[in-house]
Amino acid sequence: MSAGRQLKLHLQRRKRREKNKERFQLVSELIPEIARKAAKIAGRDEPDIRPLLVRVARVVLFSLGRNGTLRVINSPARRGSSTFSQG
């Protein structure tokens, strides 16, 4: 592959990462506030919004369960495999 094509791909990926970062920052500020206000109006407890943040922002969320298991939420769900190591 030529250097020009590689540079173009690199710049496209960087732009996409920056856009995703901006989207995640915006969503991570707005959705919790909306959830708080909606719960207050409805007279209910605040819902767990992490899965929604993951879906909207197109990121992968990792959380450690009480029993030591690792929970991975990926959106959009894509086929693939990953290798994890304990650090």
Claim: this prediction has a pTM higher than 0.75: no
Q: Which residues contact 84 (CB under 8 A, 6 or more apart)?
A: 70
Helix axes 50-57, 3-42, angle to 10 degrees: 150
> Tell me: the pLDDT tens digits for 6-38?
999 999 999 988 887 787 788 778 888 988 999
> Tell me: the pLDDT tens digits for 33-67?
988 999 999 999 998 887 777 677 666 666 677 77
